[in-house]
């Protein structure tokens, strides 16, 4: 049974991999797991804020000063997603080779440079280039998820990933509140409007650098220490916790018969009401599982094999629909509300558009929690897959209803948008509840390709929005049909490869 004290007390850890069995959400100071968890979600939130800092001001303020036409505004939204797709593909092998913490900090510092340079833009071409490089910040999602996966065990990893991703995605909503507020405060203090929007970007830039430095100086690579020492640490833990006779030579596991585990971890599982498959297996199976989950240095052929496996295609296809739709809708939502509700002012449009992003703080973690709950009660990864597709199909239904109705009633529109956000954003959480089970030895590759597919979806859907101009309802039901069709097309695929060691 989950206890409220888990939110601040130091968690029990899996003795084999040293991963936490609960999430000390409220203890980022004294507990290393709580500190890593905090900087994972907070770092991604600041990155997401800066990544989407332009849309709240772009159409109504910046476009006027840069003499941009509507199609150029749409182009800039597409370009902002293109760089993120590329960076997410690069970040996945970097996470496996250099570690997610260093990769995370690198993304933040690289993205901080164009953020500070926002004030140097004076035409549409300059904005295209700037938003392309600011898109580096969107790539920080991959190391955020890989880092979290490395610190939290399978019984809570879905919830942990969903929380870091969901709280991070709050940046997409916070920016609609903060950027107009910073801009308005500067104008109120006497700064010209043409200068105020440029200066406002200094705020996220400073925060990005601060968080990156905290990652580098306050947080570890893994629960066992440095990234380059993870293999030695894993071997040490295996020898320490296996029964005599299992390990016969360094780095090798013998075929000796194994007895059932009845040690401290099993006692801890029973005490806290956890029921994880790993804790109920024999010693040999536990050791094989632990070895199979140590992240390896990726070769090109292995990366290609992992990327094109049917199981990775499932998580990528589902994220293409859910996160792709979220990115595209985030970019046009304020304009959609302006079209259907012209009496709303800039601030009110921004406030209601922000709600879509802010719901991530609840909906995405809930999706991950439901995924973990299904796994905990069934001991089957198939349950996580069923949750994922269930969320996806219901997302499609809501998108079709919103698009067909194209309601001019605020209550109807905002209610349907909240319902759609519940399943769309929850589907993002459920997706990264499944990802750690798929090829766990190449978690960075799976996470990166899945995350990049979400950006690819965002680009495709943004292009559809661009060529349908203000016919937003039509595009929403098209996305809904695509979402249902894709989920049904990949629903039959096994959640993990047959015979895979680890991740079960």
pTM of the model: 0.76
Radius of gyration in angstroms for the set of CA atoms belonging to the chain, rounded to a whole number: 23
pLDDT score at 346: 67
Lowest mean pLDDT among 90-94, 377-381, 498-502: 498-502
Q: How confident is the model at residue 240 (pLDDT cuts 50, 70, 90)?
A: low
Phi, psi (deg, nearest 5) at residue 172: -70, -25
Lowest mean pLDDT among 215-219, 281-285, 325-329: 281-285
Three-state SS annotation for 118-156: HHHCCCHHHHHHHHHHHHHHHHHHHHHHHHHHHHECCCC
> Which segment, 173-177, 307-311, 500-504, is predicted with the most confidence on average?
307-311
pLDDT score at 244: 41
Residue of higher predicted confidence among 436 and 40: 40
pLDDT reading at 204 higher than 80: yes
* Contact indicator for 123, 66 with CB cutoff of 8 Å: yes
* Contact indicator for 288, 17 with CB cutoff of 8 Å: no
Q: Distance of CA 148 to CAs 53, 95, 101, 110, 141, Å?
A: 25, 12, 10, 21, 11
Average pLDDT over residues 101-108: 95
Tell me the two tokens of residue 315: 């998580």
Strand partners, 225: 222
Q: Distance of CA 493 to CAs 312, 382, 426, 496, 498, Å?
A: 10, 10, 21, 9, 11
Fold type of domain 23-225+300-490: Growth Hormone; Chain: A; (1.20.1250)
* Contact indicator for 81, 327 with CB cutoff of 8 Å: yes
Over residues 359-381, the pLDDT tens digits come to 988 999 999 999 989 998 898 99
Over residues 405-418, the pLDDT tens digits come to 999 999 999 999 99
Average pLDDT over residues 61-68: 89
Q: How confident is the model at residue 503 (pLDDT cuts 50, 70, 90)?
A: low
**DSSP characters for 197-242?**
HHHTTHHHHHHHHHHHHHHHHH--SBTTB-GGGHHHHHHHHHHHHS
pLDDT score at 15: 80
Over residues 378-392, the pLDDT tens digits come to 989 999 999 999 999
Separation between Cα atoms, residue 259 and residue 436, nearest integer Å: 27
* Contact indicator for 141, 165 with CB cutoff of 8 Å: yes
């Amino acid at each position: 049974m989950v206890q409220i004290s888990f939110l601040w007390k130091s968690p029990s850890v899996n003795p084999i991999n040293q991963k936490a069995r609960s999430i000390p959400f409220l203890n980022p100071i004294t507990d290393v797991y709580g500190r890593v968890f905090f900087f994972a979600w907070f770092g991604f939130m600041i990155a997401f804020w800066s990544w989407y800092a332009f849309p709240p001001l772009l159409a109504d303020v910046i476009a006027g000063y840069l003499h941009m036409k509507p199609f150029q505004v749409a182009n800039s939204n597409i370009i902002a997603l293109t760089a993120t797709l590329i960076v997410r593909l690069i970040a996945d092998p970097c996470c496996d080779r250099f570690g997610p913490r260093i990769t995370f900090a690198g993304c933040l510092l690289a993205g901080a440079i164009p953020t500070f340079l926002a004030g140097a833009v004076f035409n549409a071409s300059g904005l295209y280039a700037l938003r392309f490089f600011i898109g580096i910040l969107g790539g920080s999602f991959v190391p955020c998820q890989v880092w979290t996966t490395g610190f939290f065990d399978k019984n809570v990893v879905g919830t942990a990933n969903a929380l870091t991703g969901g709280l991070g995605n709050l940046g997409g909503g916070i920016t609609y509140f903060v950027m107009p507020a910073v801009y308005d405060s500067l104008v109120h203090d006497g700064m010209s409007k043409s200068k105020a929007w440029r200066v406002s970007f200094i705020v996220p830039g400073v925060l990005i650098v601060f968080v990156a430095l905290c990652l580098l100086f306050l947080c570890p690579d893994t629960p066992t220490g440095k990234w380059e020492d993870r293999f030695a640490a894993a071997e040490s833990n295996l020898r320490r916790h296996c029964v005599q006779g299992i390990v016969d030579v360094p780095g090798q596991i013998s075929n000796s018969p194994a007895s059932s585990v009845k040690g401290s971890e099993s006692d801890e599982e029973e005490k806290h009401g956890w029921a994880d498959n790993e804790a109920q297996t024999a010693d040999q199976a536990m050791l094989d599982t632990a070895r199979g989950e140590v992240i390896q240095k990726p070769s090109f052929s292995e990366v290609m094999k992992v990327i094109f496996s049917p199981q990775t295609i499932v998580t990528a296809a589902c994220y293409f629909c859910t996160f792709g739709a979220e990115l595209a809708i985030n970019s046009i939502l304020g304009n959609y509300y302006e079209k259907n509700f012209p009496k709303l002012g800039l601030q009110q449009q921004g406030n209601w558009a922000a709600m879509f992003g802010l719901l991530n703080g609840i909906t995405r973690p809930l999706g991950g929690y439901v995924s973990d709950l299904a796994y905990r009660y069934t001991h089957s990864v198939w349950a996580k897959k069923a949750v994922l597709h269930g969320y996806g199909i219901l997302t499609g239904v809501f998108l079709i209803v919103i698009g067909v109705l194209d309601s001019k009633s605020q209550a109807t529109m905002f209610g349907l948008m909240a319902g759609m956000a519940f399943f769309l954003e929850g589907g993002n959480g459920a997706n990264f509840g499944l990802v750690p089970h798929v090829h766990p030895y190449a978690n960075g590759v799976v996470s990166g390709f899945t995350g990049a597919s979400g950006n690819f979806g965002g680009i495709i859907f943004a292009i559809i929005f661009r060529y349908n101009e203000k016919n937003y309802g039509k595009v929403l039901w098209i996305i809904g049909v695509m979402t249902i069709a894709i989920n049904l097309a990949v629903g039959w695929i096994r959640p993990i490869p047959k015979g895979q060691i680890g991740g079960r």
